[in-house]
Amino acid sequence: MQKNFDAFDKVSANFVPLSPVSFLNHAETLHSQRTAVIYGNIKRSWAETAKRIRGFAKGLASMGIKKGDTVSVLCPNIPEMLELHFALPVSGAVLNTLNTRLEPETIAYILDHADTQLLIVDQELIPVVEKVFEIMGRSVPLIEISDPNAPSTHTLGGKNYDDVIETDIDVKPMSGFPRDEWDAICLNYTSGTSGRPKGVVYHHRGAYLMALGTIAAWQTPHYPIYLSVVPMFHCNGWGHPWVMAMLGGTVVFTRTMAADVLLDAIGKYAVTHFGAAPIILQMLTDAKSDDMKPFDPKVKVLTAGAPPPPSVLEKTKSMGLEVMQVYGLTETYGHISQCLWQESWEDLDDAKQAQLQAQQGIAMPMVDMVTVIDRDKDQPVPFDSQTQGEIAIRGNTVMKGYYKDIRATEDAFANGYFWSGDGAVVDPDGYIQIKDRLKDVIISGGENISSVEVEAVLFRHPSIQAAAIVAKPDPKWGEVPCAFVELRDGAEANEDDIISFCREHLAGFKTPKKIVFAELPKTSTGKIQKFKLRELAKSLD
Amino acid sequence: MQKNFDAFDKVSANFVPLSPVSFLNHAETLHSQRTAVIYGNIKRSWAETAKRIRGFAKGLASMGIKKGDTVSVLCPNIPEMLELHFALPVSGAVLNTLNTRLEPETIAYILDHADTQLLIVDQELIPVVEKVFEIMGRSVPLIEISDPNAPSTHTLGGKNYDDVIETDIDVKPMSGFPRDEWDAICLNYTSGTSGRPKGVVYHHRGAYLMALGTIAAWQTPHYPIYLSVVPMFHCNGWGHPWVMAMLGGTVVFTRTMAADVLLDAIGKYAVTHFGAAPIILQMLTDAKSDDMKPFDPKVKVLTAGAPPPPSVLEKTKSMGLEVMQVYGLTETYGHISQCLWQESWEDLDDAKQAQLQAQQGIAMPMVDMVTVIDRDKDQPVPFDSQTQGEIAIRGNTVMKGYYKDIRATEDAFANGYFWSGDGAVVDPDGYIQIKDRLKDVIISGGENISSVEVEAVLFRHPSIQAAAIVAKPDPKWGEVPCAFVELRDGAEANEDDIISFCREHLAGFKTPKKIVFAELPKTSTGKIQKFKLRELAKSLD
């Protein structure tokens, strides 16, 4: 009798909005005396951390911040950054983390586009903010974080972070939950691979499921000791700050990502888990001293951003790091597939193992489909390791859409999937392997670089007639941008000129590392044949 | 700008109803070649199992079963029982599992109350069904399962299970998902602790979160080897059938729960996980031969239904079973709190450890609140190990409500919580410990027995004037029902008479094991003082 089964209302006993706020509740009631953060001389329990979070959220309210307001944050991984991942959702505001390596022009664009009501900034980065305000021609209300461990501090006279924290708080059960789990929680800008950065809107439901699914995929026990390496401005640190609250974990911060500092911290605090881009793993293997013993018990590591080179996987294994590659995009809250280890790989040699581990793997538990689709035929490719298609994703950890960009949202969600833009094949065992970045993204040190964006800068140089940017393999960064340019008739410019010009307008990591002067190969219809340039770039030194 | 964040529609790319059906999709696409079930000579992969499930679901549709129809199942733990946990949700029907140990009267009551459209029965249990139909005065359409390992088989001429399975199936991605995650998925009757059994309605959302939360709480890796011990008619085996599909696990079936058979299976198939009531654990420790080596690696075990006696915990530990007690009710899909092990317990002696492990512990990750509330003061009790309150639960793994019983539903959900009826205290570390069953439930071998129900039978005996049932501690069953009776003036009856009379009307486990003839202690208002009888019962042998 359908009607009898449908007769029930949702009530507060049986329907609670899915939200990372629930993990804060767990942390402060179930794990209150556990250490939440360790950073230099700072060590705080979850009770203390939760009190700061609740107090900061109340302080935001006193400042007039209300539900649906965007609050932008420019800050490295330090305890305040973790706190903001709870304080802003609790306050109802939307957390917009900014890549600290972005050029002021792009930050200015984002603050405008995101309708930022308040900017929270680490005082080391005040000089960047000064330039941003100059470009914007206006300032934004500011809260400044004074970090005793920052190498330098500056001020623009903003309110101090600690002064915002109110101490007279009365926390009721379930306080801070969104009215609707579909409410926005974060706004994360893409690196703008096909032009301007796009604002990816996350919802509470997705952030909650991302955390619970990560625990299932990574088999994370309670009370992990987690080293904070993945920048929290990248997909909110792949959702890991929320996971740590739920499990009563301890988050170890170093501010700097220098290899020796990270290795010291792993040993000193008996770190059990961390996530990091392959470039960081390579740094760790390079920095490892010969007499260093492998970590025991092994440290569990997730890596993403680019497939880890086999050499790195072999070396990290010998160091006692148990690395699993995961794959995802800003639009999917970070990782949504995992290269799950198979017992049948045990007996293979290290090189073959490393090759298998460099696959993108299979859907994580909380994702409903990660599939590879032949868009011409509108059907999944066969599992033959050969036929290429585009990775398409369906699940609750896919963004609401792009902020103020309904057209791009509709394009991204065509035919019932989110389209990744990544070309891939599927192996007979169902494991997905990326073959090509359909959008010509360059991935350098874990950061996505849009060739279109760099080309746009080159095109502004008075001597340049035509230009194309492709990835050049690089032993340190994985890939670096390499420019092929045609000069105008009679114009003159050398490699240094052009690199300097780019550096004025682009973040360092986006600036081409190599300029090649040559006629660009084109199709009969005049389209540049980038695949030829990619081949050429591989042969350059 | 709130309105810009609210501008997005839910689309199929980013909003998928939470449902265990998604785990079947994972199993058949990501774990297809893994072994799903092992049972005697039967061994099937997830691909084969999924095909049988899809085919059975299609067969049900051909038989006219439609969304919202109740399908009841009377069957021990065998592969078909696992299949039905997916086939019925896929078909849109509601799965109503029946305790195979129930008396025909109660089954008849449930089939009537549940509006059962179809009954699926293991052929060993056909004689029970015959009696049920006799009591009902009508029959219900029947599908019969022929299990080659059943000790006896009978038939009432129903359709054969395997014949219902259609082979011409075309599975589309996302097929079988409910339109709404709040749709009913299961209907599980309570043991009727306060009178008639009540029909607890589960929804897809809750079943999904129960599975994902169990993985987080139990730290279950991919590919577990799971021994099917918890009856799937109890809270759907605590949701574990769904967990196994999601993780590509292998479920080992034995049909019988004889201790030697279970111990053999654990060794033979290298079982990694199972769940079982304390009584089963005790059976295993009793059956263990002296020369048996501890299981290595350790087998992870969840136990629930009653606090495990310290002696059992000590012995299971020495056997290589890593036991964690969990707590929950039918209304909460099974376990919602866990007695999570703490490092600080490591150095305590075995007896103290066992005592700590017998606590009900803290909320599982997917549950928002498991709290103990002083109902008079309407606030949580202090964490002082002394002040008693009632365990109250809030979260998405709380039932929709009681089928066709709006009043009981409203009572259960008063003031925004589900009220467990269990009296408990909270320790300074936040761990909950049950002190008293407020509803006088007797828990015998993991089965709840309602004192009210047994008393009702006693009251029907012509010689009995008054009666009260309380729990009597029992080394084997944990508790057994003990009857205190006052005979009518001049009437005569001895212990054997009364036990025989009860056995005619009650399942064996509900029949009192001891009858005491005495005047019942009463309050001034005439209410029987059960606490005095409980004390008396403890001193009996």
Residues B407-464 have pLDDT tens digits of 999 999 999 999 998 889 999 999 999 876 666 778 888 887 878 778 878 888 989 8
SS3 content of chain A, % helix, strand, coil (to 5): 35, 25, 40
Radius of gyration of chain A (CA): 24
- Kindly determine whether residue A25 and residue B368, on different chains, have CB atoms separated by under 8 Å: yes
Label residue A223 by pLDDT band (50, 70, 90): very high
pLDDT at A386: 87
- Joined together, the tokens standing for residue B31 give 């774990």
d(CA A454, CA B33): 46
pLDDT at B488 over 90: no
- Joined together, the tokens standing for residue A518 give 């040559």
Closest CA to B400 of A257, A489, A14: A14
pLDDT (tens digit, 9 = 90+) per residue, A407-464?
Answer: 999 999 999 999 998 889 999 999 999 876 666 778 888 887 878 778 878 888 989 8
d(CA A200, CA B536): 67
d(CA A121, CA A118): 10
A68-72, A504-508, B59-63, B364-368: which has the minimum mean pLDDT?
Answer: A504-508
pLDDT at B172: 79
Instruction: Identify which of B209, B393, B401 has the shortest CB distance to residue A8.
Output: B401
Closest CA to A233 of A106, A330, A345: A330
The DSSP symbol for A291 reads: T
Contacts of residue A521, defined as CB under 8 A and 6 or more positions apart, other chains included, come to A528, A529, A532, A533
- Mutation to test the A interface, candidates B8, B22, B242, most A Cβ within 10 Å: B8
Please name the residues between 247 and 286 in chain A that touch chain B, using a CB distance below 8 Å: 247
Closest CA to B125 of B105, B150, B108, B148: B150
B13 in contact with A, Cβ within 8 Å: yes
Question: Which residues of chain B are within 8 Å of residue A336 when distances are taken between CB atoms?
Answer: none
Distance from CA of A396 to the nearest CA of B (A): 5
pLDDT at B439: 62
Query: Percent of chain B, pLDDT > 70?
Result: 97
d(CA B261, CA B415): 47
Closest CA to A449 of A478, A429, A489, A424: A478
A369 in contact with B, Cβ within 8 Å: yes
What backbone phi and psi angles, to 5 degrees, belong to B217?
-75, -35
Distance from CA of B181 to the nearest CA of A (A): 12
Which whole number is the average pLDDT over B156-180? 91
pLDDT (tens digit, 9 = 90+) per residue, A379-405?
Answer: 999 999 988 899 999 999 999 999 999
pLDDT at B524 over 90: no
- Mutation to test the B interface, candidates A2, A3, A4, most B Cβ within 10 Å: A4
Q: Which residue has the higher pLDDT, B129 or A532?
A: B129
d(CA B175, CA B91): 10
Distance from CA of A180 to the nearest CA of B (A): 11
Contacts of residue B163, defined as CB under 8 A and 6 or more positions apart, other chains included, come to none
Q: Does the domain spanning A21-276 belong to CATH 1.10.10.10?
A: no
pLDDT at A525: 54
| Fold (topology level) of B21-204 | Rossmann fold (3.40.50)
- Joined together, the tokens standing for residue A372 give 């590879």
Burial class (CB in 10 A: 0-12, 13-18, 19+), A404: middle
pTM: 0.88
B246 in contact with A, Cβ within 8 Å: yes
B182 in contact with A, Cβ within 8 Å: yes
- Taking CA atoms, what residue in A is nearest to B65? A1
Instruction: Identify which of A5, A68, A212 has the shortest CB distance to residue B94.
Output: A5
Contacts of residue B138, defined as CB under 8 A and 6 or more positions apart, other chains included, come to none
pLDDT (tens digit, 9 = 90+) per residue, B332-354?
Answer: 999 999 999 999 999 999 888 98
Peptide bond into A308 cis (omega under 30): no
A322 in contact with B, Cβ within 8 Å: no
pLDDT at B87 over 90: yes
Which whole number is the average pLDDT over B210-232? 96
Please name the residues between 59 and 88 in chain A that touch chain B, using a CB distance below 8 Å: 67-70
- Taking CA atoms, what residue in A is nearest to B420? A13
Contacts of residue A343, defined as CB under 8 A and 6 or more positions apart, other chains included, come to B223
- Kindly determine whether residue A396 and residue B14, on different chains, have CB atoms separated by under 8 Å: yes
A182 in contact with B, Cβ within 8 Å: yes
Closest CA to B508 of B444, B419, B425: B444
- Taking CA atoms, what residue in A is nearest to B199? A5
Question: What's the full length of chain A, in residues?
Answer: 541
pLDDT at A539 over 90: no
d(CA B512, CA B468): 11
- Kindly determine whether residue B400 and residue A8, on different chains, have CB atoms separated by under 8 Å: yes
Quickly tell me which residue has 């042969």 as its tokens.
A539
- Kindly determine whether residue B362 and residue A418, on different chains, have CB atoms separated by under 8 Å: no
- Kindly determine whether residue A10 and residue B182, on different chains, have CB atoms separated by under 8 Å: yes
Q: Decide if A96 contacts A110 (C-beta within 8 A).
A: yes
Q: CA-based angle B495:B497:B500, to the nearest 5?
A: 105
- H or E stretch including A166? none
Helix/strand/coil for A353: helix
d(CA B323, CA B307): 12
- Kindly determine whether residue B14 and residue A418, on different chains, have CB atoms separated by under 8 Å: yes
B215 in contact with A, Cβ within 8 Å: yes
- Joined together, the tokens standing for residue A456 give 């746009």
pLDDT at B195 over 70: no
Instruction: Identify which of A363, A413, A417 has the shortest CB distance to residue B30.
Output: A363
A6 in contact with B, Cβ within 8 Å: yes
- Strand-strand pairing, A273-276 and A225-227: parallel
- Kindly determine whether residue B220 and residue A221, on different chains, have CB atoms separated by under 8 Å: no
Residue extents of the structural domains in chain B: 21-204, 441-539
Distance from CA of A64 to the nearest CA of B (A): 14
B89 in contact with A, Cβ within 8 Å: no
Label residue A523 by pLDDT band (50, 70, 90): low
Closest CA to B145 of B94, B100, B176, B207: B100
Q: CA-based angle B4:B6:B9, to the nearest 5?
A: 115
Q: Output the average pLDDT for chain A.
A: 93
A176-185, A274-283, A349-358, B199-208: which has the minimum mean pLDDT?
Answer: A349-358
- Mutation to test the A interface, candidates B4, B22, B34, B393, most A Cβ within 10 Å: B4
Q: Decide if A281 contacts A325 (C-beta within 8 A).
A: no
- Joined together, the tokens standing for residue B329 give 């009710």
pLDDT at A535: 87
Please name the residues between 450 and 509 in chain A that touch chain B, using a CB distance below 8 Å: none
- Kindly determine whether residue A5 and residue B173, on different chains, have CB atoms separated by under 8 Å: no
- Kindly determine whether residue A430 and residue B32, on different chains, have CB atoms separated by under 8 Å: yes
How many Cα atoms sit within 13 Å of A57 on the Cβ side?
28
Q: Output the average pLDDT for chain B.
A: 93
A4 in contact with B, Cβ within 8 Å: yes
d(CA B77, CA B280): 15
Distance from CA of A115 to the nearest CA of B (A): 7
pLDDT at B247: 97
Angle, helices A278-287/A259-269, rounded to nearest 10 degrees: 80
DSSP string, A220-250: PPSS-EEE--S-TTTHHHHTHHHHHHHHT-E
Centre a 10 Å sphere on the Cβ of residue A539 and count the other Cβ atoms it contains.
Answer: 7
- Kindly determine whether residue A368 and residue B174, on different chains, have CB atoms separated by under 8 Å: yes
- Joined together, the tokens standing for residue B305 give 């239904």
A127-141, A260-274, A348-362, B289-303: which has the minimum mean pLDDT?
Answer: A348-362
Instruction: Identify which of B2, B8, B213 has the shortest CB distance to residue A400.
Output: B8
What backbone phi and psi angles, to 5 degrees, belong to A310?
-50, -40
B7 in contact with A, Cβ within 8 Å: yes
Q: State whether the Cα torsion A20-A21-A26-A32 is positive or negative.
A: positive
- In whole angstroms, what separates CA A464 from the centre of its chain? 34
Centre a 10 Å sphere on the Cβ of residue A31 and count the other Cβ atoms it contains.
Answer: 27
- Joined together, the tokens standing for residue A477 give 């960064």
Label residue B28 by pLDDT band (50, 70, 90): very high
Distance from CA of A15 to the nearest CA of B (A): 5
- Taking CA atoms, what residue in A is nearest to B21? A368
Which whole number is the average pLDDT over B250-255? 98
Tell me what ipTM this predicted complex has. 0.88
Please name the residues between 15 and 34 in chain A that touch chain B, using a CB distance below 8 Å: 15-16, 18, 22, 25-26, 29-30, 32-33
What backbone phi and psi angles, to 5 degrees, belong to B168?
-90, 80
- Kindly determine whether residue B400 and residue A5, on different chains, have CB atoms separated by under 8 Å: yes
Distance from CA of A298 to the nearest CA of B (A): 16
The arrangement of secondary structure in A441-539, i.e. its CATH architecture, is: 2-Layer Sandwich (3.30)
pLDDT at A120: 98
Distance, first Cα to last Cα, chain A: 73
- H or E stretch including A476? none
Helix segments in B288-433, DSSP class H: 310-318, 350-357, 406-412
pLDDT at A194 over 60: no
Instruction: Identify which of B32, B221, B413 has the shortest CB distance to residue A219.
Output: B221
d(CA B201, CA A468): 61
d(CA B224, CA B248): 8
Please name the residues between 95 and 134 in chain A that touch chain B, using a CB distance below 8 Å: 115
Contacts of residue B234, defined as CB under 8 A and 6 or more positions apart, other chains included, come to B99, B330, B334, B446
- Joined together, the tokens standing for residue A245 give 């609250």
- Kindly determine whether residue B174 and residue A13, on different chains, have CB atoms separated by under 8 Å: no
Question: Which residues of chain A are within 8 Å of residue B14 when distances are taken between CB atoms?
Answer: 206, 395-396, 398-401, 413, 418
A222 in contact with B, Cβ within 8 Å: yes
Closest CA to B235 of B205, B267, B207: B207
Label residue A540 by pLDDT band (50, 70, 90): confident
pLDDT at B311: 78
A366 in contact with B, Cβ within 8 Å: yes
SS3 content of chain B, % helix, strand, coil (to 5): 35, 25, 40
Question: What's the full length of chain B, in residues?
Answer: 541
pLDDT (tens digit, 9 = 90+) per residue, A157-183?
Answer: 999 999 999 999 888 777 889 999 999
Q: CA-based angle B514:B519:B525, to the nearest 5?
A: 120
pLDDT at B523: 64
